[in-house]
Structure 1
Amino acid sequence: MTPVQTEGYAPCVSRPPSTPAAEPAAPQNPAQLRRFLQESKSADPDAWESARKLVHRSRLEHTLARLVERIQHSPLPGTLRDGLVAGLRSASAEGTDRVRLKELTGLPPTKAIRALCVHFAIVREEASSSGPPPHEVEAFVKQDVSPYDLLLQVEKPSLLDLGAGDLSFEEGLLDQYLTSLQQSGKALTLHAVDRLQPGSQLGGAYHANPERLRRLTRDAPDTLQFRFWGGVDMMDLSTHPHLLARYTVLTCHAPATPTFAYEPTRLSPATIHSHLTKTKGEYRTVRVRGEKALEVMHRGQALTFPHWKFVIHGPLALLDLAVRRGALCILSAIDDEVFWEILAQLVEDPGMRPQDVVFTPNVLPEIFGHVHQALTSVKIGERCNLSDVTPLRQNLLGSTTPQERKPPTWSFRFVEIRRGAVFPGMPAGSTARQFRHMSEEVPPWHLVLVPERVPSR
């Protein structure tokens, strides 16, 4: 039996999407601004280089207008905000207000504008807008094809897999698509992240398979740009500058429960803790051979998990990440508990988001009404357009960054729901394939989402 050392009960950590943990505060004075700008340059050299095109004579006026608008809506102190706006409004290709910008940023005008474009995410937005527009993505996925075929339609295909696990999905994806991409002369950027810390004794078969990882990295052809990051929380991607600002496709297979099974903006920490204890068992943090872990007493048996197993992010945080990072978002092998919590955030009717009511099977028909009846009638292998069942939510408030005083607003212009874990012509990971052997499990759900940003008013 594995020896454990008790550290106490693990709190149920709730992190609403409006307060990302890893992001620093806004600079409060010119000295801090200069430090922030230097850190932004160092953290993302590709963005710094890309900012050159934004200060080209043909684009400078438009760039300055965007910067001024972004700074005016930023959380910077008034004097710093007003000083930057005044300096930028009088700036030009020749830099007519060198003194003011140099005092505030420590940089000559052109470099100051480039650095501000990096810090205030103008460069990232530029990269984001280069993907296929939402209406074209929607038109494509409405065809009777695999949504992953979108990778074959764009000039620079890319995919980000959140919670990549054993990398079996990556292997299946490449088996299906890499040859076609090579024949068309396209290079695929394939990035994968997972919370499990490489080398951890916890997590078992969900760790990245060493042989697959070797084939994907050392033996990869020039037409595949693959990277895997282990020990990374998907909610903390801002610290990884090598990730793209936006991907053609974003995937999350079997979104973790209870991580995404409870929405912190809808359920109180006490309610979540009570339900977890009732359904999973008492839990506490322990040490297993020196490694921090979570011990859950389930039906008289002590089960050990990674220490973050019961950290709650909620579906809004996952959806916010999806809309920011993917032109097309695919959530697959979603268990019943997670699915209904996600669905509640996708529909317009606020009555389907009651406060402090846990979505147990017995309350679902009453809360979701005709939507529940329609969706539970979908047979395995079938699909439906959610907007044919109920209006989609028009404003999904995103998380703020240090560069934004007002959070951006997103919506999903298209939501397709499929029933089942594995579909013909679509790559799947090991978790999805395991569902066929889980006779006691409710058939999982599959979501295909097309996000778009709602213009600010």
Structure 2
Amino acid sequence: MPPDQRVIADFRRRLREAVENNREAWAASRRLVAPSAAAETVQRLQAAVAGSSLDPDIRQALLQVLGPAHHDGQQAIPQEGLRELTGLNPTKAVRNLCLLLGVGAGAVEAGPVSSMAQDQVEAAVRSHDNPFDVLLEADVASVVDCGAGDLTFAEKVVEQYLGPLERGGRVLILHAFDRLNPQEPFSTFVQADRDRLQQLRRRSSPALRFRYDGNRDMLDLASWRQACARYTIAVCRGA
């Protein structure tokens, strides 16, 4: 049975918000539909859809549309069905779906990774009263906040460490994600504060690289491990 129109409308809204919440990742996602990557992207997207928490009718419809890829290059992107489900041309639909489901996040977010070994980071953390002071001495000052809530922690990290890092000619990389989307009508006690989110995104300092992802599956432990491994410090809090 095809999905209900209200279900489709909600699905399309989530696709739009996935782009609105992360324009940098949207721009970078072009590489996921390049001729050399499209077939693999569709294959990974199919697996992500199968394991997602999308509405069952939407999930089944997407799996039927994506199906086994029979072509290479951009011809691997299915032309039939995606437009009807997403309201987008097929290439944009695949890119939006990748953002929504976190497919290819590692490639999109590829950035500097600290050369410090895990035991070196742990030793540095133990040597400070405030463990986050390691950001001032690590070769890459990067933090991922899993279960970011209302973003008060992210705001405090920026307030305390951006200035010293900027004065030293360095960059602060801060990635926060949560299972909720700040555009949805949940309590502000468990949802990213909209004003705080916009302030962090619009911070004028070129030394801050901030990203927020909503609608993340907080039980996808494999994705967590892959994402968190790129950061000097990972903070996992109640989600």
Paired residues, what number? 192
Deviation at 1:234, TM superposition (A): 7.5
Give yes or no for the alignment of 1:408 onto 2:204.
Answer: no
State the partner residue of 1:110. 91
TM-score by length of 2: 0.56
User: 1:71–1:81: 8 Å Cα contact kept in structure 2?
Assistant: yes
Structure 1 unaligned regions, length at least 5: 1-26, 192-231, 247-400, 413-448, 453-457
Which of 244, 251, 258 matches 2:211?
244
User: Cα distance 1:141–1:100, how it changes in 2: closer, same or farther (>3 A)?
Assistant: same
Pairing partner for 2:172 from 179, 184, 188: 188
Could you list the per-position Cα deviations for residues 63-92 of structure 1 after superposition, in whole angstroms to 9, with x for gaps in the alignment? 223211211012334442222123223375
| Alignment partner of 2:26 out of 27, 36, 48 | 48
Measure, in 2, the Cα distance between the counterparts of 1:140 and 1:168. 18
> Could you give the per-residue CA deviations for residues 246-287 of structure 1, whole angstroms, max 9, x where no partner exists?
9xxxxxxxxxxxxxxxxxxxxxxxxxxxxxxxxxxxxxxxxx
- 1:170 and 2:151 equivalent? no
Task: Confirm or deny: 8 A CA contact 2:38 2:76 kept in the other structure.
Answer: no
- The residue aligned with 1:286 is none
What CA deviation, in whole Å up to 9, does each residue of 1:421-440 have, x standing for no partner? xxxxxxxxxxxxxxxxxxxx
Which residue is 2:10 aligned to?
A: 32
Residue pair 1:84, 1:101 contacting (<8 A) in 2 also: yes
The answer to whether the 8 A contact 2:50-2:59 is kept is yes
CA distance in 2, matches of 1:176, 1:73: 42
123-132 or 104-113: which moved more?
A: 123-132
Deviation at 1:117, TM superposition (A): 0.9
Give the distance between the partners of 1:153 and 1:49, measured in 2 at CA.
Answer: 29
Q: Deviations over 1:402-443 (max 9, x none)?
A: 564x8223899xxxxxxxxxxxxxxxxxxxxxxxxxxxxxxx
Structure 2 residue aligned with 1:268: none
Say if 1:134 and 1:451, in contact at 8 Å, map to a contact too.
no
| Offset of residue 116 of structure 1 | 0.4
Residue type of the alignment partner of 2:41: T
Superposed counterparts of 1:227-242, under 5 Å = 235-237=190-192, 240=197, 242=201
Counterparts of 1:103 and 1:141, CA distance in 2:
50
1:297-312 matches, within 5 Å, as none
**For 1:82 and 1:167, how far apart are their aligned partners in 2?**
42
> What secondary structure, in the 3-state scheme, does the structure 2 residue paired with 1:122 have?
coil
Pairing partner for 1:149 from 125, 134, 144: 134
The C-alpha deviation readout for 1:275-324, integer Å capped at 9, x for no partner, is xxxxxxxxxxxxxxxxxxxxxxxxxxxxxxxxxxxxxxxxxxxxxxxxxx
Distance 2:100 2:91 in 1: 14
Q: 1:237 to 1:136 in 2, by over 3 A?
A: farther
Distance verdict in 2 for CA 1:403–1:167, change over 3 Å:
closer
Measured in 2, the distance between the counterparts of 1:238 and 1:85 equals 34
2:116–2:138 Cα contact (<8 Å) kept = no
Separation (CA, whole Å) in 1 of partners of 2:79 and 2:37:
19
In structure 2, the residue matched to 1:120 is 101
The amino acid that maps onto 1:149 is: V
Determine helix, strand or coil for the equivalent of 1:84: helix
Map 1:436-447 onto structure 2 (within 5 A).
none
Q: Name the SS for the 1:66 alignment partner.
A: helix
Corresponding letter in the other structure for 2:86: T
Structure 1 partner of 2:229 = none
Task: Tell me: CA distance 1:56–1:97, structure 2 relative to 1, closer, same or farther (3 Å).
Answer: closer
The C-alpha deviation readout for 1:109-154, integer Å capped at 9, x for no partner, is 2111101011113365556675648983443232475453345434
The amino acid across from 1:93 in the alignment is Q
User: What is the 5 A alignment of 1:294-373?
Assistant: none
Aligned counterparts of 2:156 and 2:78: Cα–Cα separation in 1: 53
Q: Tell me if structure 2 keeps the 8 A contact 1:67–1:122.
A: yes
Does the Cα contact within 8 Å between 2:165 and 2:171 map onto a contact in 1? no
Q: Which amino acid aligns with 1:98?
A: Q
Q: Secondary structure at the match of 1:115?
A: helix
Which one of the candidate residues 62, 66, 69 is aligned to 2:44?
66
Please state whether the residue corresponding to 1:244 is helix, strand or coil.
Answer: strand
- Higher strand proportion, which one? 1
Out of 21, 26, 35, the position equivalent to 1:57 is: 35
Query: Which structure dedicates a bigger proportion of its chain to helix?
Result: 2
Are 1:30 and 1:80, in contact at CA under 8 Å, matched by a contact in 2? yes
In structure 2, the gaps of 5 or more residues are 176-186, 202-209, 226-232
For residues 39 and 164 of structure 2, the distance between their equivalents in structure 1, rounded to whole angstroms, comes to 45
Which amino acid is 2:60 matched to?
A: D
The answer as to whether partners of 2:35 and 2:74 remain within 8 angstroms in 1 is yes
Distance (whole Å) between structure 2 residues aligned to residue 73 and residue 87 of structure 1: 16
- Normalised by the size of structure 1, how large is the TM-score? 0.33
Is the 1:41–1:118 Cα contact (8 Å) retained in structure 2?
yes
